[in-house]
Homo-oligomer: A and B are copies of this chain.
Amino acid sequence: MSLAESRPQQDCPARGRPRSEAVERAILEGVMKLLEDGVPLADLSIERIARTAGVGKATIYRRWSDKEDLFVDVLRAAEPEDPELPGTSVRDDFVMLLESQRRRGLATRSSAILHNVYAQMKSSPKIWAAYHATVVAPRRRIGREVLRRGLENGELRRDVDIDLLHDMLVGPMLVRSLLRPDAPLEEGLAEQIVDTVLEGLRPVSSPGA
């Protein structure tokens, strides 16, 4: 970053040379603005983004190696932040992880941009792969770490593969938030899913019939 880039960010489009963080924000907001205007991801060139954000193409390439990289950061900026886990039990940690997933689901439903970008991302293997590698995979690693602890301290049955345990805990919320846009994402859902998956779907007291 050159010291010359120290002018405060203008409203829009940014002129001159605003500071580093402000430049970044202007670029991310430029992409969001284009998406809000209905420009498809595939048509978003670095040139067009640069023009909208009022920066040079080189300024963008100094921060992101390519378009896919940039889009992943746009998504990150639009998504709610990932939570700190309490670290007390598989139950408590996964309630937190699923609650965060639920909030992302709600954010996607209420934000036309997020909704639009997710939908388009799925049809772009390159962006999907970038999002997966930098956002989804790290989240999954955190969940696996929680499960590994739970296997060690006896909270979880040991006859099921850790990867499958993970899919069983996150699957129901993922189905609701990603595949069933009309399904309820009500408060308390994270607790209910985690507790029920841990205890099982069989009747709790005495089995009938």
Give residues in A with beta carbon < 8 Å to B.
119-120, 122-123, 125, 153-160, 163-165, 167-176, 178-180, 183, 189, 192-193, 196-204, 207-209
**A164: contacting residue among B120, B193, B200, B209, CB under 8 A:** B193
In the complex, the answer to whether A183 meets B160 with C-beta atoms within 8 Å is no
In the complex, the answer to whether B202 meets A160 with C-beta atoms within 8 Å is no
**A198: contacting residue among B153, B176, B200, CB under 8 A:** B200
In the complex, the answer to whether B174 meets A208 with C-beta atoms within 8 Å is no
State how many copies of this chain the complex holds. Answer: 2
**A167: contacting residue among B158, B175, B198, B203, CB under 8 A:** B175
Q: What CA separation (Å) do A54 and B179 show in the bound complex?
A: 37
Q: What CA separation (Å) do A173 and B179 show in the bound complex?
A: 13
Determine the residue in chain B with the shortest Cβ distance to A154: B208
- In the complex, which residues of chain B have a beta carbon less than 8 angstroms from the beta carbon of A173? 171
With A168-B172, A183-B163 as given contacts, are A200 and B203 in contact (CB-CB < 8 Å)?
Answer: no
Q: What CA separation (Å) do A80 and B41 show in the bound complex?
A: 33
In the complex, the answer to whether B156 meets A201 with C-beta atoms within 8 Å is yes
In the complex, the answer to whether B201 meets A169 with C-beta atoms within 8 Å is yes
